[in-house]
Chain A
Amino acid sequence: MTDASRIAARALGFRALVWGFTLMTIVPFGLLLLTSVKSKQDLFEGAFVLPDRIHWENYVTAWVDGHFSVYFWNSVLVVVPVVGVSVLLGLLTGFAFAFLSFPFKKTIFVVLTLGMMVPTEAFIIPLYYEMRWLGLLNTYAALILPQIAMSVPFATLFMASAMQQLPRDILEAALLDGAPRGLILRRVILPLMRPAISSLALFLFIWTWNEFLIPLVLVNDDSLRTMPLGMLFFQGRYTVNIPVLTAGAVLVILPIIVVYLIFQRKFIEGLTAGASK
């Protein structure tokens, strides 16, 4: 065998492996999509059999009868403020940790790291009592406020490390140009941080969208339930109708995929091109 063909063979093997993994990831997902447009009768023909027509009505049933319209808007109403406020706070606290010195900086940093490691299960009971004492149970505030608090540690560490990686010269140049802190943050750091901010927003979006325990424990009013929780109660009501169930599942996942596709382009874009040689 020549060198070239050996390399080609190795590349082929590698590709086959990658394709294998890709298929393993995609097949269950494709199956989910397929099932969601089948009728109950189609389902008995076999998992991989195509339906004779596409049953969109499964989605309508899930959206209307399954209350997914309500759950969807609740999720949006919770995710948008949580992501927005957390990113904003993360920018400010990240800036402080990256560039300023203040008392107990190290200690606070450690506390934040701990805050990231403690699982929700560990503090959900005290949180429940706290919310009850504040009279916030069964409100949007009960869904939003704790999740902001849970996002800020990660947002802070993420923003701080991203800011530390900004070219130092540029910030010093701004300092010499006489820009005060706020202005440097707004006009120099913020534009350079766009890729980092969109990655952070994406992470927070996915976590908040999928959050289960907080809405489960802190609200029990169906009109306040979010998507993942709605899915649980929906399952209870529709266990027999698998296609409608899968349609509900698709509705839960779809926004994540859409948001990911929008944001991931920003991941790759580098914005510091041209700052230096």
Chain B
Amino acid sequence: MGKLEFAGLTKSFGHAKVIRETDLTVEDGEFVVFVGPSGCGKSTMLRMIAGLDEITGGELRINGRVVNDVAPVDRGIAMVFQSYALYPHMTVFENIAFPLQVAKLPEAEIRRRVAEAAAVLKLEERLAHKPAALSGGQRQRVAIGRAIVREPAVFLFDEPLSNLDAALRAEMRVELTRLHAKLGTTMIYVTHDQVEAMTMADKIVVLRDGVVEQVGSPLELFHRPANRFVAGFLGNPTMNFLPAEATGTAAGGIAMRLAGAGEVTVPVEGGAAPGEALELGIRPDDLRLGAGEVRFRVVPEVIEQLGNQSVVYGAAETGQAICAVVSGGFGLRPGVAAEFGFDPAAAHLFRQDGAACPRRVVPGATVAA
């Protein structure tokens, strides 16, 4: 069992408020990913859960028990550090066995559990080696092994893959997902890699400057971002934001004038007064070459051919930077204007303060709203 509840949790270092009041529930067995730009308070959040940083205000409950003043070891959590934090003078076996030895388990039990963890993590051949003799991925697995032998209720991972190269990262990502399926334990995972967030999470928590911007499933966040920040943070390449001016509220949504592209009606809830400044968001892969209801001209500057796709970086006639991912596109030339378009249903709409207007149609996804 590993259910976590944050009730008005805050953290300050001196006068600096690093985490603003946070309310959040992590269900037992959930894989929750905290994402956000550097310095937004992800690590601080984890360290408060682990008990390495004191909680300034509010309550943290694990399985219904308030743990604000409970020692780290008694919280039933295990943490994997970004730097692995292995004991360099101990062998792999000793590293994994250390928490068990501290807990004074019988020798036979320690051997059994370490062997089991080593089998899961494919470390059997390496048990007698020191960390210095291991590759980055193996070190990471030792760190995970040290965490799983304790059989914690909650796992905490602080950017565990950021020191690995791309191929190994992809591999470890799958392994971690598999591990989660096998153990069924609650896992809280911090990253600023949105691919990790999208692929691994049951639930993503997007943080900015110590404020939770949105909580939801990966697809929900992707298709129904609550605000401009979340929309811009998730998705790669990032969403294009085009300035627009509302012309009124129509039956089909909000109508607006888009500079260089004419009139558009985006199917969203709510209304807008004529003249209200809005921002239309469109993801690069929702732009199409010479197709779509709304068309505008873009002068490509850089074209990256990926074989089946082309990634185009360019500027619209208004000077606005545009990125598009289109299939084909082999005829595109830098400096030669081409017509791109999109369907209004694919667009997002944001108000001046960054809040998103709720979308009516969500293409390509069945989202429990």
How close is A76's CB to chain B, nearest CB, in angstroms?
30
Inter-subunit contact B89/A176 (CB<8 Å): no
Known: A172-B52, A274-B134, A277-B139. A177 touches B98 (CB 8 A): yes
**What CA separation (Å) do A180 and B73 show in the bound complex?**
10
**B: interface residue count bin:** 20 to 34
Inter-subunit contact A177/B73 (CB<8 Å): yes
A176, A191, A277: residue with the most chain B Cβ atoms closer than 10 Å: A176
Binding site for B on A (CB under 8 A): 167, 169-170, 172-180, 183, 187-188, 191-192, 271-277
Interface: B314 (CB within 8 A): no
Known: A173-B79, A176-B73, A177-B146. A272 touches B88 (CB 8 A): yes
Q: Which of B125-133, B173-181, B184-192, B215-223 contacts A (4 or more CB under 8 A)?
A: B125-133
**What CA separation (Å) do A102 and B139 show in the bound complex?**
36
- What residue in chain A is nearest B94 (Cβ atoms)? A187
How close is A186's CB to chain B, nearest CB, in angstroms?
12
Q: Which of chain A's residues have a CB closer than 8 A to the CB of B139?
A: 274, 276-277
Inter-subunit contact A177/B85 (CB<8 Å): no
How close is B157's CB to chain A, nearest CB, in angstroms?
13
Q: Which of chain B's residues have a CB closer than 8 A to the CB of A177?
A: 73, 98-99, 102, 146, 150
Known: A175-B52, A177-B146. A277 touches B85 (CB 8 A): no
- 1/0 contact trace for B133-162 toward A, CB 8 Å? 110100100000010001000000000000
**What CA separation (Å) do A272 and B87 show in the bound complex?**
8
How close is B127's CB to chain A, nearest CB, in angstroms?
15
**What CA separation (Å) do A173 and B131 show in the bound complex?**
15
**What CA separation (Å) do A187 and B101 show in the bound complex?**
11
**What CA separation (Å) do A5 and B220 show in the bound complex?**
67
Inter-subunit contact B88/A271 (CB<8 Å): yes
**What CA separation (Å) do A183 and B102 show in the bound complex?**
8
How close is B152's CB to chain A, nearest CB, in angstroms?
9
Sample (20) of A-B pairs whose CB atoms are under 8 Å apart? A169-B82, A169-B83, A170-B86, A170-B87, A177-B99, A177-B102, A179-B98, A180-B102, A187-B98, A188-B87, A192-B89, A271-B88, A272-B88, A273-B88, A273-B132, A274-B131, A274-B139, A275-B86, A276-B83, A276-B85
How close is B165's CB to chain A, nearest CB, in angstroms?
11
- 1/0 contact trace for B83-109 toward A, CB 8 Å? 111111100000000110011000000
**What CA separation (Å) do A274 and B73 show in the bound complex?**
25
Q: Which of chain A's residues have a CB closer than 8 A to the CB of B86?
A: 170, 173, 274-276
Q: Which of chain A's residues have a CB closer than 8 A to the CB of B79?
A: 173, 176
Inter-subunit contact B73/A275 (CB<8 Å): no
Select which of A173, A178, A274, A275 is within 8 A of B133 by beta carbon: A274
Q: Which of chain A's residues have a CB closer than 8 A to the CB of B98?
A: 174, 177, 179, 187
How close is B354's CB to chain A, nearest CB, in angstroms?
36
Inter-subunit contact A170/B102 (CB<8 Å): no
- CB contacts between A and B, total, < 8 Å: 84
**What CA separation (Å) do A188 and B102 show in the bound complex?**
12
Q: Which of chain B's residues have a CB closer than 8 A to the CB of A275?
A: 83-88, 131
**What CA separation (Å) do A172 and B132 show in the bound complex?**
20
Binding site for A on B (CB under 8 A): 50-52, 72-73, 77-79, 81-89, 98-99, 102-103, 130-134, 136, 139, 146, 150, 163
Inter-subunit contact A276/B84 (CB<8 Å): yes
How close is B108's CB to chain A, nearest CB, in angstroms?
20
**What CA separation (Å) do A174 and B78 show in the bound complex?**
11
Q: Which of chain B's residues have a CB closer than 8 A to the CB of A167?
A: 83, 85
**What CA separation (Å) do A235 and B326 show in the bound complex?**
94
Inter-subunit contact A274/B88 (CB<8 Å): yes
**What CA separation (Å) do A169 and B86 show in the bound complex?**
9
Q: Which of chain B's residues have a CB closer than 8 A to the CB of A169?
A: 81-85
Q: Which of chain B's residues have a CB closer than 8 A to the CB of A187?
A: 98
Inter-subunit contact A277/B83 (CB<8 Å): yes
- What residue in chain B is nearest A276 (Cβ atoms)? B83
How close is A270's CB to chain B, nearest CB, in angstroms?
9
Q: Which of chain B's residues have a CB closer than 8 A to the CB of A271?
A: 88-89
Inter-subunit contact B130/A274 (CB<8 Å): yes
- What residue in chain A is nearest B88 (Cβ atoms)? A275
- What residue in chain A is nearest B72 (Cβ atoms)? A176
**What CA separation (Å) do A274 and B133 show in the bound complex?**
7
Q: Which of chain A's residues have a CB closer than 8 A to the CB of B84?
A: 169, 275-277
How close is B219's CB to chain A, nearest CB, in angstroms?
33
**What CA separation (Å) do A277 and B136 show in the bound complex?**
7
Q: Which of chain A's residues have a CB closer than 8 A to the CB of B89?
A: 191-192, 271
Inter-subunit contact B163/A277 (CB<8 Å): yes
How close is A190's CB to chain B, nearest CB, in angstroms?
9
Known: A173-B146, A174-B98, A192-B88. 18 other contacts (CB 8 A): A167-B85, A169-B82, A169-B83, A169-B84, A173-B86, A173-B87, A175-B73, A177-B99, A177-B146, A177-B150, A178-B102, A180-B102, A274-B131, A274-B132, A275-B88, A276-B85, A276-B139, A276-B163
Q: Which of chain A's residues have a CB closer than 8 A to the CB of B50?
A: 176
Q: Which of chain A's residues have a CB closer than 8 A to the CB of B99?
A: 177-178
Q: Which of chain B's residues have a CB closer than 8 A to the CB of A183?
A: 102
Inter-subunit contact B83/A175 (CB<8 Å): no
Q: Which of chain A's residues have a CB closer than 8 A to the CB of B132?
A: 273-274
Known: A167-B83, A169-B81, A275-B131. A178 touches B88 (CB 8 A): no
How close is B167's CB to chain A, nearest CB, in angstroms?
16
A169, A175, A274: residue with the most chain B Cβ atoms closer than 10 Å: A274
